[in-house]
């Protein structure tokens, strides 16, 4: 290995920390052998529901060298989104914590862009692409391979020191670096809290989630009406769901994030049950400007609230 590889990796990790990322790990770009049969089985069993885009670019999902010409390294990063405060009315319909602040796609893309600029400025003519949950990249597989954590029974990546309330992102570059070792040990042990707590029984086996039953899928991805079999099982979630993370013992180590863009608007946290049930398009647009909640649109959120109201 070139002695510069370790030096470059240290530089990249130091800059990632300066930019606010919680963790940074690096792995060699290549084919994800372990993931191929898992992804194929998940798709063949229709567990992606109406998310037909998951069927596309199968090869690219498994090999980043097909996404980035000459790719040598995958730089995996995590960014904490755990909030200091939650919604104040215990009876109000709930929003997943990740959507309290600004849309993470834009926040993370900007940080990744700055990291790539830094690499180009301090290391040389490096080409690469930034990814955050918006292209066919298997974030968790690469984060695990890069040593950021292990995949828990709820299929989320879990880090020993910080739990799982963080976003994952990647820079795929045509630069050889010093590579981290992936975490071999699964620290979930015999714990089944996430499986036991899921009200719709979406976690059908350790690390296997049937999206069609997942509250996050039902409230965000599903465009048609929510099935009657889920009445009384949504536990008051109107956008996303945090149940399997809230019950995870590793999340006792979660600390509030310090990302300015992720800080929620006070009026969002103060909304009462009645305010949500009477929400107008105007209030929705004001509350969720630059928010991930816009993904479901006013019509979708109103559908979810109405479904909860009549459950």
- Positions annotated as catalytic residues are 133
The DSSP annotation for 147-185 comes to TS-EE-TTS-EEBTTTBT-EEEEEEEES---PPPPPP--
Q: How far is residue 187's CA from residue 202's CA, in Å, rounded to a whole number?
A: 21
Joined tokens for residue 76: 């995996």
Q: How far is residue 300's CA from residue 279's CA, in Å, rounded to a whole number?
A: 12
Put residue 133 in one of left, alpha, beta given phi > 0 → left and psi -120 to 50 → alpha.
Answer: left
Nearest Cα to Cα of residue 238 among 195, 266, 271: 271
Name the CA dihedral angle for 94, 97, 103, 107, rounded to a multiple of 10 degrees.
170
Nearest Cα to Cα of residue 23 among 240, 180, 188, 256: 180
First to last CA, the chain: 61
Q: How many residues does the chain have?
A: 311
Q: How far is residue 198's CA from residue 85's CA, in Å, rounded to a whole number?
A: 23
The single residue listed with the structure tokens 């570059």 is 173
């Amino acid at each position: 290995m070139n002695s510069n590889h370790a030096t470059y990796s240290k530089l990249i990790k130091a800059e990632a920390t300066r930019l606010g990322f919680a963790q940074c790990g690096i792995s060699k770009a290549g084919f994800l052998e372990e993931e191929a049969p898992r992804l194929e089985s998940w798709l063949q069993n229709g567990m992606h529901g109406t998310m037909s885009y998951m069927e596309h670019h199968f090869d690219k999902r498994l090999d980043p060298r097909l996404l980035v010409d000459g790719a040598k390294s995958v730089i995996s990063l995590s960014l904490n989104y755990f909030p200091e405060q939650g919604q104040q009315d215990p009876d109000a319909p709930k929003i997943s914590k990740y959507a309290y602040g600004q849309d993470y796609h834009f926040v993370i893309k900007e940080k990744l862009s700055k990291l790539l600029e830094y690499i180009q400025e301090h290391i040389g003519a490096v080409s690469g692409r930034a990814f955050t949950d918006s292209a066919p990249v298997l974030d968790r597989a690469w984060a695990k391979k890069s040593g950021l954590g292990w995949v828990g029974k709820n299929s989320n990546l879990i880090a020993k020191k910080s739990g799982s309330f963080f976003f994952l992102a990647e820079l795929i570059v045509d630069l050889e670096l010093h590579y981290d070792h992936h975490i071999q040990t699964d620290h979930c042990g015999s714990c089944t809290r996430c499986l036991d707590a899921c009200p719709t029984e979406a976690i059908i086996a350790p690390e296997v989630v049937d999206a069609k039953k997942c509250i996050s899928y039902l409230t965000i991805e599903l465009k048609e009406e929510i099935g009657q079999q889920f009445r009384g099982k949504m536990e008051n979630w109107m956008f996303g769901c945090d149940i399997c993370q809230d019950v995870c013992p590793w999340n006792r180590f979660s600390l509030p994030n310090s990302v300015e863009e992720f800080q929620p608007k006070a009026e969002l946290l103060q909304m009462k049950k009645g305010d949500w049930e009477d929400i107008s398009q105007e209030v929705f647009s004001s509350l969720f400007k630059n928010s991930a909640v816009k993904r479901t649109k006013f019509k979708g959120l109103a559908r979810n609230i109405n479904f909860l109201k009549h459950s």
